[in-house]
């Protein structure tokens, strides 16, 4: 039998070398004044509920993809592998936490309270003991989470399985909200976008989330990224995340789109760009090119809101990620010669503040004679 | 409590719609005369040994990647998740088999006998009861597998953890071979190639394999493929595979490389190509272009073995996958005018018959005056 | 000076070896019954008008991208490089034609009659002498082309530079049409789609085109293709193309979209697919999967037109290019048990027959008890 | 005729909007102390010699690909398009220079003196009048270039067309060198690498170049780059480039490889990396991970030169471009506890200082008890 022990040691030592990912991607979305921009996914499953991967896989995926924080949120009420996987509701967190520490991934302890609509599925983050959420009555479970200090998110509010005809806000949700039992809402889940949730978040002061709800292995294609929640935190700590979530400093990031409040979208937009802010010297018939360098991973799609007074500017402009795009301004009347400040108003077609509202940004340049 | 039941049903119904892969890739390596070319991976782990995914993940991966057959070969002796995952050695097969049937993936029942060197790790395929392989003495385990009708493979024979200094064939392996307890060998495992194993396979009449030995999720990048064993079977059935393995009709396929016997490599090469085989009319100073269409996924890298007699042919030629490549032949002496058969000898730099030997192919054309 | 001659010879010999593309891509859009599906681009410029590449570049590009036929259509009236490039209007064709023959690219002689709106820019294909199109009056030029047997296309009818406010059909176009001086229209040019042109083509029996109007080097990204006109010809000859154009057997192909008549779209769709057409055996509660293999380069996006009677079918289905997609049908009432023919009606969202009309396809299966 | 004028104006206005590239890629190779790292290509052809594109194409390509400087070096002696393209040797420069200024590309005036071997083909950069290089005697042409202040490069010294059997240094080259008529040499041209040239450059103090010698359109695949010469200049000006070339401050950059002097390679390597340089606290059995962030476009391939004394370090490490790679160090003897400085010696397999010599880099960390 000592023969067996020998190779077990070898396997343990060597296993690391065989591990898949040897390097960590960098997600380029800039920090903004006063805050670190943390890349997070707060809705994830493992074999300990109805997922199909071991908890450590979630840490490795997050590390390789460049995330800062995740929460494993296994269902309390739904555990189809329980014949073979025998453990309590805290176990997936316990298994993942040593690797999370080693890889410097912030692992937020969570669970998914999984009920029929209303109120549907809710994620409880920053909980202390998931086992105590296993209660017959859903409101008892939610209150228990709250008593543990949880941040509570309404998941996939427009999920067809629970809201087949239209995406409704139920009295039960008003009730939760009124009692401090609901703090956030997913405006994006997996591959579905819920514009109604964006509207509710604005009206009812809920924090917005984009999460994966991933059950199987993540499969992020080259050049793509998983849906994620950007958290603007004072520090890269669990406490920093918690403070930011309760103060609604998040954006939902999916595909090439950012969704959230303009107070966060605008600084992200301008922090992504590098360009010469020196005064221009545009006059009638005189042209000037400003080179906009976009250091972020987003292609910003701009559309001119209104024509410039005394100058021409491009109606449409794509600021391609990691490229330099010229912005060409040319005077078209004598008026421009005496204008001392040039303002350019663009709507950013892939940054949403509401279901049909885009961020509007203003480029301002001094103009010299 | 009936509330719980309700959403469980919903989850079951909807879960399918959320599944990742909706379509199956096609691996383009042609069938050859008399045989179907099956794409197989015979070395795979799950959470039931030291892998990190649920057995169904392996079926989904195989289906999406276009494989025909896999074997889940969890370690008998090494089960680090056994605190949480409580099941016998047949369980991973049992969980995977219904999905395999539904997806039309051939699932070969297997297990990995996992010991120190010699004899190292051996995969037993086509076994009936994996629990019976759990024996103190490794040879008892191997004999048990044989008695169940198993095909036995020496895995990763050059693995540094077990053969740190050089890749050795041990007396124990001769012993296994002499007693009909060893039938195949991995010439490729995960991302390692063992040329010594190729040599032994040729000398000792072992069947060659390329397997993944995958533990975590497969991560096949766009345009890439997992290492796999091509099996030339009389039928796409488990029995067809077994007959082919015992008769050594396999090739190892990894990166852009095929390794094995020329009797299999050559028909694969020519079955990959489509071109006009009509007689040429080359004379001194007369040029003719033959368009070679390569319908396979391999880029074939050709190098001229010897100059043509009376004509020029390209010294190097890449027959790019799914492209048409011109082969330009031009007469360079009067001799060619009276030549009735033109033979072109090319070595295929990415098809290996031995550690330093490549397949040589002959293109033959009639030449008319 | 003989020294100079020596290296010139060397350059000529070696130049071929340095050529960029060594292989030709295959565009996978199937032939249909009775016709070859030729991939064509009938609007292309060179340095001999306002383009920036030599005519041979156009042949090499077409060959590498897998096209069958092109027409170089340099402007008659606009030649900004004429200070340095001194030649008549036939010269770009003359330079390109030897390489076209060598590479087996069909080169249709053409020119672009380039005037203000109306009638705008018109391509004349199959002309004999481009110099004779250099006439003061645009209608004289068009008549000259017609007298040479030309096929005449209205180019980019919605080009903002000539139709700034809306895409208009002018009396002059009615006049041309009535006099047999207008045969086709671009529904797609460069990167612009003109739905109005599709409508006019249907109403006025014009042949539809998608062309590049390329001026600089073609830059086709990996996995992409240039906009092109699919011509359904009885033979792969210039005559075959001419007959097909005058008989309106074309489709416009751009991005992942095909536009044209359903009589051509439908056979292309079904010729792209391979699946088992054997009778099904669906009954209430019984499920059957049909595997649809799509051998074309298009991802077909299907949407169910109406629910099946007695069975469920997927509402949305993407038949990914070069993949196999399962179509799962399941009986949901006893009625299906006595149904002998199952018809599935899908609209193909990326195949257009009109500005807002999609092709509808019917999958028909026999059903056995 | 006024009708013609109208559309010409329209074309001029609109032409810009149809231009291909709207944004400029960023090549990420860092500046080093005291110098800007300019990305340059000094060997390029147009239709004014045997190339197949208009000179402006070269400026657009350079701009889109992120280059700082190019030289158009049309052959003086070889102009196969001269029947149609009628102009003197300065013309391609003249045509390109306005667009170069507009796009902020430095355009170095050049020409290729194109003779049989010896001395073969030489590029003359920074010339004033290319017409004067059209001389019968090659040495007269070279001297004329020198008298104009030219920097002279021996192009593709191992080109099989001129050096069919082996890459030779001829007495004529010694003669040129001795007379100040040869300053640089291409170690890479198009897709060929000449290790002999690297050796000569080291021995004879020649400046190294990697150039494209492009004749047709550049076709840079997604994620790739053209071969280029990195110039370490005091300023981003033509004068800055000239000073740097005459002082041998260049590296050749092709594929994933950099070739040149270690005095330039080493600062590029370390300027590419960002990592915490704080003291470590490694002791026997204590492990520490340093995260190496590689901000450059190169994947650096490291191989340990010698084992650490008292600690283990990875034998091989790939610092993937734009990724973070962990470097794990672990104490393996008591000795390490008293070591105050840890030195790690790695050879960089893709940075060459000689034909078979790689750059060796040293990572130095303080170690605290």
Q: Are residues B63 and B133 in the same domain?
A: yes
Which CATH number do you get for residue A219? 3.20.20.140
Contact between residue A40 and residue A228 where contact means Cβ atoms under 8 Å apart: yes
pLDDT in tens, B105-114: 999 999 999 9
d(CA A202, CA A252): 13
Q: How many CB pairs under 8 A join B and C?
A: 40
pLDDT in tens, B10-43: 333 333 333 345 899 999 999 999 999 999 999 9
Tokens representing B245? 């393995």
Provide the domain count of chain D.
Answer: 2
Is the pair B, C in contact (3+ CB pairs within 8 Å)? yes
C chain contacts of residue B272, beta-carbon cutoff 8 Å = none
d(CA D353, CA A105): 40
What per-residue confidence (pLDDT) applies to D309?
87
Q: Which of B220, B235, B259 is the last residue of a domain?
A: B259
Q: Are residues D290 and D222 in the same domain?
A: no
Identify each DSSP E strand in D255-308 by its residue range: 257-260, 273-274, 287-294, 300-304
Phi and psi at D263, nearest 5°, equal: -65, -20
Closest-CA distance, B57 to chain A, in angstroms, reads 7
Q: Which of C228, C260, C292 is the last residue of a domain?
A: C260
| Residues 325-364 in A contacting B (C-alpha not used; CB under 8 Å) | none
3-state helix, strand, coil in chain B (%, to 5): 25, 35, 40
- The mean pLDDT of C265-288, rounded to a whole number, is 96
Is the pair A, C in contact (3+ CB pairs within 8 Å)? no
pLDDT in tens, C217-254: 999 998 899 999 999 999 999 999 999 999 999 999 99
List D110's β-bridge partners, or say none.
D125
Q: Are residues D226 and D298 in the same domain?
A: no
pLDDT in tens, C160-176: 999 998 999 999 999 99
Q: Which of B209, B231, B259 is the last residue of a domain?
A: B259
Taking CA–CA distances from C315, the nearest residue in chain B reads B17
Residue among D344, D300, D331 at smallest CA distance from D318: D300
Residue among C164, C128, C160, C166 at smallest CA distance from C147: C128
- Is the Cβ pair C26, B322 closer than 8 Å? yes
Residue B186 lies in a domain: yes
A164 contact partners, CB below 8 Å, separation of at least 6: none
Q: Which residues constitute the domain of residue C341?
A: 268-366
- The mean pLDDT of C127-136, rounded to a whole number, is 98
H or E segment to which residue C187 belongs: strand C184-189
Q: Are residues A184 and A39 in the same domain?
A: yes
Contact between residue B268 and residue B289 where contact means Cβ atoms under 8 Å apart: no
- Is the Cβ pair A325, D22 closer than 8 Å? yes
Whether A316 and chain D come into contact, CB under 8 Å, resolves to no
Taking CA–CA distances from A316, the nearest residue in chain D reads D17
Taking CA–CA distances from C17, the nearest residue in chain B reads B314
Whether B26 and chain C come into contact, CB under 8 Å, resolves to yes
Which letter, b or e, does each residue of C220-234 get, where b requires 16 or more Cβ atoms within 10 Å of its Cβ? eeeeebbbbbbbbbe
- Is the Cβ pair D13, C161 closer than 8 Å? yes
What per-residue confidence (pLDDT) applies to B308?
86
What per-residue confidence (pLDDT) applies to D369?
83
- Is the Cβ pair B47, A54 closer than 8 Å? yes
What per-residue confidence (pLDDT) applies to C4?
40
Q: Are residues B360 and B240 in the same domain?
A: no
- Is the Cβ pair C217, D57 closer than 8 Å? yes
Of C6, C81, C136, the CB nearest to D1: C136
Taking CA–CA distances from B78, the nearest residue in chain A reads A8
Closest-CA distance, C103 to chain D, in angstroms, reads 17
Give the end-to-end CA distance of chain D in Å, rounded to a whole number: 90
- Is the Cβ pair D25, A293 closer than 8 Å? no
- The mean pLDDT of B264-277, rounded to a whole number, is 98
D232 contact partners, CB below 8 Å, separation of at least 6: D32, D35, D36, D37, D38, D244, D249, D250, D251, D264
Q: Are residues B60 and B193 in the same domain?
A: yes
- Is the Cβ pair A324, D24 closer than 8 Å? yes
Query: Considering Cα of B239, then B245, then B248, then B250, what sign does the dihedral take?
Result: positive
What per-residue confidence (pLDDT) applies to B21?
59
Q: Are residues A291 and A348 in the same domain?
A: yes
Whether D293 and chain A come into contact, CB under 8 Å, resolves to yes
What per-residue confidence (pLDDT) applies to C36?
98
Residue B17 lies in a domain: no
Is the pair C, D in contact (3+ CB pairs within 8 Å)? yes
Tokens representing D367? 């170690």
Taking CA–CA distances from A57, the nearest residue in chain B reads B52
Phi and psi at C230, nearest 5°, equal: -85, 125
Residue among C29, C362, C50 at smallest CA distance from C210: C29
Residue B49 lies in a domain: yes
- Is the Cβ pair D322, A22 closer than 8 Å? no
pLDDT in tens, C347-363: 999 999 999 999 999 99
- D100 to each of C31, D93, D214, how far by Cα in Å? 47, 10, 18
Q: Are residues A228 and A347 in the same domain?
A: no
What's the 3-state SS for A130-176? Answer: HHHHCCCCHHHHHHHHHHCCCEEEECCCCCCCCCCCCCCCCHHHHHH
* Residue C275 pLDDT > 70: yes
Whether C11 and chain D come into contact, CB under 8 Å, resolves to yes
D14 burial (CB, 10 Å; 0-12 / 13-18 / 19+) is: middle
Residue D222 lies in a domain: yes
Residue among A211, A189, A261 at smallest CA distance from A32: A261
Which CATH number do you get for residue D333? 2.60.40.10
Residue B10 lies in a domain: no
Give the count of alpha carbons within 13 A of D152, CB side only.
25
Closest-CA distance, C317 to chain B, in angstroms, reads 9
What per-residue confidence (pLDDT) applies to B2?
34
* Other Cβ atoms closer than 10 A to D170: 14
Q: Are residues B142 and B196 in the same domain?
A: yes
Whether A23 and chain D come into contact, CB under 8 Å, resolves to yes
Q: Are residues D280 and D212 in the same domain?
A: no
Contact between residue D283 and residue D331 where contact means Cβ atoms under 8 Å apart: yes
Q: What is the mean pLDDT of chain C?
A: 93
Is the backbone of residue B172 left (phi > 0), alpha (psi -120 to 50) or beta?
Answer: alpha
- The mean pLDDT of D243-248, rounded to a whole number, is 98
Largest Cα span, chain A:
94
- Provide the 8-state DSSP code for B316: E
Residue B214 lies in a domain: yes
Taking CA–CA distances from D192, the nearest residue in chain C reads C18
Q: Are residues D305 and D345 in the same domain?
A: yes
d(CA C229, CA D45): 33
C179: helix, strand or coil:
coil
Is the ipTM above a cut-off of 0.85? yes
Residue A10 lies in a domain: no
d(CA A223, CA A255): 11
Concatenate the DSSP letters of all residues of C239-256 into one string: HHHHHHHHTT-EEEEETT
d(CA D25, CA A331): 28
d(CA A226, CA A228): 6
pLDDT band at C21 (very low <50, low <70, confident <90, very high): low
A chain contacts of residue D325, beta-carbon cutoff 8 Å = 22-24
Contact between residue A111 and residue A90 where contact means Cβ atoms under 8 Å apart: no
Contact between residue C258 and residue C351 where contact means Cβ atoms under 8 Å apart: yes
**Bond before A119 cis per omega within 30 degrees:** yes
Touching subunits for chain A (3+ Cβ pairs under 8 A): B, D
- Among B76-85, C10-19, D360-369, the least confident range: C10-19
Of D10, D20, D51, the CB nearest to C219: D20
Whether C8 and chain D come into contact, CB under 8 Å, resolves to yes
Contact between residue B100 and residue B260 where contact means Cβ atoms under 8 Å apart: no
B132: helix, strand or coil:
helix
Phi and psi at B110, nearest 5°, equal: -150, 175
Q: Are residues B84 and B28 in the same domain?
A: yes
Give the count of alpha carbons within 13 A of B2, CB side only.
0
* Residue C17 pLDDT > 60: no
Q: What is the mean pLDDT of chain A?
A: 93
Query: Considering Cα of D292, then D296, then D302, then D308, what sign does the dihedral take?
Result: negative
Residue B11 lies in a domain: no
pLDDT in tens, B125-135: 999 999 999 99
| Residues 213-242 in A contacting B (C-alpha not used; CB under 8 Å) | 215-219, 221-222
Whether D5 and chain C come into contact, CB under 8 Å, resolves to no
Phi and psi at D307, nearest 5°, equal: -60, 145
d(CA C112, CA C130): 9
Share of chain C above pLDDT 90, in %: 90
Contact between residue C50 and residue C318 where contact means Cβ atoms under 8 Å apart: no
pLDDT in tens, A249-295: 999 999 999 999 999 999 999 999 999 999 999 999 999 999 999 99
């Amino acid at each position: 039998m000592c023969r067996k022990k020998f190779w077990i040691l070898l396997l343990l030592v060597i296993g690391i070398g065989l591990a898949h990912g040897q390097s960590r991607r960098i997600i380029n979305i800039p920090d903004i004044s006063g805050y670190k921009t943390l890349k997070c996914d707060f809705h994830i499953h493992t074999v300990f509920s109805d997922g199909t991967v071991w908890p450590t896989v979630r840490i490795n995926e997050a590390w390789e993809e460049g995330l800062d924080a995740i929460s494993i949120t296994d269902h309390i009420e739904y555990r189809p592998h329980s014949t073979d996987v025998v453990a309590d509701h805290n176990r997936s967190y316990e298994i993942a936490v040593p690797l999370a520490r080693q890889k410097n991934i912030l692992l937020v302890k969570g669970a998914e309270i999984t009920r029929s609509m209303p109120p549907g599925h809710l994620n409880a983050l920053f909980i202390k003991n998931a086992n105590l959420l296993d209660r017959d009555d859903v409101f008892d479970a939610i209150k228990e989470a709250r008593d543990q200090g949880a941040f509570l998110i309404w998941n996939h509010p427009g999920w067809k399985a629970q809201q087949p005809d239209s995406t409704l806000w139920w009295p039960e949700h008003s009730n939760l909200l009124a009692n401090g039992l609901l703090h956030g809402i997913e405006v994006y889940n997996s591959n579905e976008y819920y514009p109604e949730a964006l509207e509710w978040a604005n009206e009812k002061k809920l924090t917005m989330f984009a999460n994966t709800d991933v059950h199987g292995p993540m499969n992020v294609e080259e050049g793509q990224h998983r849906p994620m929640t950007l958290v603007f935190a004072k520090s890269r700590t669990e406490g920093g995340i918690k403070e930011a979530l309760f103060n609604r400093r998040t954006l939902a990031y999916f595909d090439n789109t950012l969704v959230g409040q303009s107070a966060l979208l605008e600084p992200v937009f301008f922090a992504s760009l590098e360009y010469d802010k020196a005064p221009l010297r545009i006059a009638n018939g005189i042209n000037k090119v400003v080179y906009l360098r976009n250091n972020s991973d987003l292609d910003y799609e701009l559309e001119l809101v209104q024509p410039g007074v005394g100058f021409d500017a491009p109606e449409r402009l794509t600021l391609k990620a990691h490229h330099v795009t010229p912005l060409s301004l040319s005077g078209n009347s004598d008026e421009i010669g005496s204008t001392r400040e040039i303002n350019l108003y663009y709507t950013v077609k892939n940054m949403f503040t509401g279901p049909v509202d885009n961020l509007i940004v203003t480029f301002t340049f001094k103009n010299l004679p």
